[in-house]
Amino acid sequence: MTTTTLADRHALGPLPHGHYRPSGVVRAEWTKLRTVRSTTWSLLLTVVLTIGIGILTTAVAAARWHQFGAVERFTFDPTARSLTGLLFGQLVIGVLGVLVVSAEYSTGTIRATLAAVPNRPLVLAAKVLVFGLVALVVSEVTSFVAFFVGQAILKGSTPYATLGQPGVLRAVIGSGLYLTVLGLFALGLASIFRHTAGAISAFVVILLILPLILQALPQSVINAVGKFLPANIGVAMIATKPSFDEGAPFPPWVGLGILAAYALGALLIGGWLMVRRDA
């Protein structure tokens, strides 16, 4: 039997060792992402939350504008009002970013992936590229739709914004970029924790719990630390009017750069651990 097996192998020629192309790895990750049901539901929920909450908040503002006081009217930001749903959609896009990595570890299919492509950094890079492009397209389209629908609701009842006004186009485009980078940060956390519950818990703590804990600390700490939190970076990103709070946030693009550094750091750590640990 051994002789026959060796003869067969000799006739077939040597087996290929690692003959895969980066483009093939990317196509494989795209196939996995688009064929998983959670992807569709997560993206749909992101769109519904971002646009739906934007419609709700702008409709309330349009209906109650006559009740607003002088300060409320002076600080009213129609662009930020229509993009309010972004602050809720960010949680869903983060969960999807986690599932892109953690779902394979929880089901054990990561072993098959790494057996087919032993180059682990390439696998992670392909996941980042595919998810990042999908998140960017969905986030930008959602941001623009939320903006235009919101301004249509406000028009005639309150001041409204157009893309040509100062800071408006930056806020709309920046909102989509913020969602995308935040999703990549969540993907990086998943590559570190590898478990869905652990990665989502860490993401929620950083995004939602830390701002609540910070409120119990002295104002000097809030002013110094608060502007580094992702949630506050998101608030600054959708705004077109300067903040009058004592702890003023970073300028929008600076804040987005800091968030990108968080995402890059998480991905680098996750990639390093991915190489060192067993699947």
pLDDT digits (tens, 9 = 90+) for 82-109: 999 988 899 999 999 999 999 998 888 8
Residue 1: its pLDDT value, please? 41
Does residue 210 lie within any of the structural domains?
Answer: yes
Angle between helices 230-238 and 86-107 (to 10 degrees): 140
Does residue 207 lie within any of the structural domains?
Answer: yes
Residue 14: its pLDDT value, please? 43
Q: Where are the alpha helices (DSSP H) in 65-119?
A: 70-75, 78-82, 86-107, 110-116
Cβ–Cβ contacts within 10 Å for residue 122, how many? 15
Note the maximum CA span of the chain: 92
Does residue 195 lie within any of the structural domains?
Answer: yes
Residue 277: its pLDDT value, please? 85
- 242 touches 164 (CB < 8 A): no
- 140 touches 176 (CB < 8 A): yes
Does residue 13 lie within any of the structural domains?
Answer: no
Query: What is the rounded (10 degree) CA torsion for 127, 128, 130, 132?
Result: 150
Q: What is the pLDDT along the chain (279 residues), one digit of tens a residue?
A: 444 444 444 443 443 445 678 888 999 899 999 888 888 898 999 999 999 999 999 999 999 999 999 888 888 999 999 999 988 899 999 999 999 999 998 888 889 888 888 899 999 999 999 999 999 999 999 999 999 999 999 998 899 999 999 999 999 999 999 999 999 999 999 999 999 999 999 999 999 999 999 888 898 888 888 889 999 999 999 999 876 554 567 899 999 999 999 999 999 999 999 999 876
Write the CB contacts of 49 (distance below 8 Å, at least 6 apart in sequence): 85, 88, 89, 92
Q: What are phi and psi of 197, to 5 degrees?
A: -60, -45
Residue 9: its pLDDT value, please? 41
Does residue 124 lie within any of the structural domains?
Answer: yes
Domain count, the chain: 1
Does residue 149 lie within any of the structural domains?
Answer: yes
Owning domain of residue 184: 21-276
Residue 3: its pLDDT value, please? 43
Does residue 5 lie within any of the structural domains?
Answer: no
Residue 37: its pLDDT value, please? 85
C-alpha to C-alpha distance for 221 and 247, rounded to whole angstroms? 9
Does residue 209 lie within any of the structural domains?
Answer: yes
Residue 71: its pLDDT value, please? 87
- Supply the pTM of this predicted model: 0.88
Query: The tokens of 60 are what?
Result: 């309330």
